[in-house]
Amino acid sequence: MERQAYNFLVAGEHSWWYSARRRFVERSLMGVQKVEGPALDFGAGFGACYELLAQYTRDVDAFEVDTEALEGCKKRGYRSASDTWADLQGPYALVGAFDVIEHLQDDAQWLRALYERMREGGTLVISVPAFQFLWSEHDVLHKHFRRYTKKTIGEALVRAGFTVVRATYWNFLLFPVALVLRLVGKGGGEALAPSRVVHALLNTLLASESKLVPTMSLPWGTGIIVVAQKRALDTQQNDPQS
């Protein structure tokens, strides 16, 4: 990720967007089997999601390869924070990968690696950006390789060995605005720091939208949230490496 993009995200930690994503993740996890064991914040960034995962278990590890971001993680309260995959203590009962998978050139390899580090029946919750036609300079700045649909991210998870429990688009109400911004050549990233009035309005809109989850799956949005669980592989055809 470009340093400019990283600094922008740090500054926006308490923005309407982070708050909305957290609400959607929490509601998507409602009714999911109780977490009994440690959690992993995969691609933890500067640690903004520590408090989210710590709601479900007291032991949360962070994996982050960016040196500066990792230093931020170490101040958050994680049980451990490392840039070395082999150092992770696992196996994990809960893994969060929040807007991370799109940064990985080989997402299949890393999804499989997460599967291997999880307990049987463990829960994976991920968020990714939606729809390739929304691609913009924002994606370039943040070094994304792709955007997804519910179908493509679901298929990737199944190939890695997971069972998809719940999947929904989010930021449904603001999707038309985002689409117009893309059509006129704007990425929309500047919306993380609107005026106080607009910030309050966006918070209210997305809080209302989040109440629809988990009772329904929204048909479109600028992002996707998926909850999946580890299952035993019964045939090699589910392994993308075979």
pTM tops 0.75, yes or no: yes
Fold that domain 3-231 belongs to in CATH: Rossmann fold (3.40.50)
Distances in whole angstroms, Cα of residue 229 to Cα of each of 39, 105, 115, 160, 205: 14, 23, 9, 11, 30
Task: Please say if the pLDDT value at position 114 is more than 60.
Answer: yes
Query: CA of 136: how far to CAs of 23, 180, 189, in Å?
Result: 26, 12, 10
Q: What is the pLDDT of residue 6?
A: 60
Spell out the domain ranges in the chain.
3-231
C-beta separation of 28 from 213 below 8 A: yes
pLDDT digits (tens, 9 = 90+) for 140-173: 988 999 999 999 999 999 999 999 999 999 999 9
Inform me whether the pLDDT recorded for 25 exceeds 70: yes
pLDDT averaged over every residue in the chain: 87
Sequence-ordered alpha helix ranges (H) in 44-195: 50-54, 67-73, 107-116, 137-141, 150-160, 175-183
Q: What is the pLDDT of residues 49-70, one digit of tens each?
A: 999 999 999 999 999 999 988 9
Average pLDDT rounded to a whole number, residues 38-48:
95
